[in-house]
Amino acid sequence: MNYKIVLCGVLLLAFSAQSLPTESGLRWINPIDIIVGTFKNVTSGITHSIASFENTTSEITHGVVTGIYNSTVKFYLYTAETRQTPQQLWIDDRVSLKSSDFQGLRKTVVVVHGFENDSKSNFTQMIKNALLKYEDVNVIAIDWSFFTKNPNYLWVVSETKSVGEFIGQFVDFLMNQTGLSPDHVHFIGHSIGAHASGFAGKYLKGQGKTVGRISGLDPAWPGFYTSGTDARLSSMDAKFVDCIHSCGGGLGYPTAICQADFFPNGGTHVQPGCPWYDFGVCSHGRSFDYYAESIDTTHLFESQTCNSVVDGVPYTCRNEGALMGYPASPEHLGVFYLTTQSASPYAKNIKATE
């Protein structure tokens, strides 16, 4: 059995159950107890090792995260020259940076995967391949799978802030060493990786280096649903923050939290072409399917500007030329609605190539 789907099902049911009313004579089980109970047997064997690691992970000196993040958060550089064979970079390692193909004058896109993934997963590779097919950019693929492949999701949530700050510290190192402009930095994060991207943006903003853009692809809802703007991705973490919501109210955030929030097909589970029985896994991934396709400039995800989108229903919409995905622009801010095809290509408007 695929325990990822089972885990996602537990999270989806638990966090959706929290709003159920209490009826006379019935006692509702705390959904957090369900999650903790589910993880208890899985994590009992690693409790002591996690505890020993946590003694070293929480060193924060003047806002700089140290400890085991140096060895467990990895940075892989992809360029047009190294698109299949990435070069690993290390924070504060000037030798590896100087000998790499990184160029400070290029735009730099930092790709941050989500729960249960790594830098070789579909999300990272699809985004990387599409970017390098159409643009001359530095792509930094983050691998924090030491954390995200731990089945204790709540522990991963608790580490997201520190990991995000460490990623921000690494980008700060790139800026200081290569002249990379904050305006030329774009974070693309999926699920819990969207929140890690937000924490990286917050860190850099605190250094006076607000980055140009953060794209949050179905930012995770479980573990962040009650969080304020300082504890999740927010509209203030970059000069432009755009989000795609594809499994809202389940695995993804159901409400607008960015400067531009796109709700394809209403933004809820189930997205067209996805099964209803997978607890939202397919719909959660549709956000990066749409985004990767949108990097092709002939595939246009034309969107309507709306006053609101509530429970998948758009209200008072109008056409103002907004595009979802990579070509999204700060010229179009607010809430947006669109429909897609049920299979690739997902865009409904595909321009003919000359």
b vs e for 225-250, b when ≥16 Cβ sit within 10 Å of the residue's Cβ? eebeeebbbbbbbbbbbbbbbbbbbb
Interatomic CA distance for residues 244 and 325, integer angstroms: 8
CA–CA distance, 285 with 281 (Å, rounded to integer): 6
> Which residue has tokens 């929030």?
261
Q: Over the stretch 5-58, which tens digit does the pLDDT of each residue have?
A: 444 554 544 444 433 332 223 223 233 333 433 333 333 333 333 333 343 343
Question: Which tens digit of pLDDT belongs to each residue from 126-161?
Answer: 999 999 999 999 999 999 999 999 999 999 999 999
pLDDT value of position 183? 99
What confidence category does residue 226 fall into, taking pLDDT thresholds of 50, 70 and 90? confident
The answer on pLDDT for 200 being more than 50 is yes
Active-site positions read: 191, 218, 284
Cα dihedral across residues 267, 271, 277, 279: positive or negative = negative
Residue 48: predicted pLDDT: 34
Report residue 293's pLDDT band, with 50, 70 and 90 as the boundaries. very high
Whether the model pTM is above 0.75: yes
Q: Which residue has the tokens 């250094």?
A: 207
Least confident segment among 62-76, 196-210, 292-306: 62-76
Confidence of residue 227 (pLDDT cuts 50, 70, 90): confident
Quick one: 4 exposed, middle or buried, by C-beta within 10 A (0-12, 13-18, 19+)? middle
By percentage, how much of the chain surpasses pLDDT 70?
81
CB-based contact 131:109 (threshold 8 Å): yes
**pLDDT above 80: residue 308:** yes
To the question of domain 3-350 being in CATH 3.40.50.1820, the answer is yes
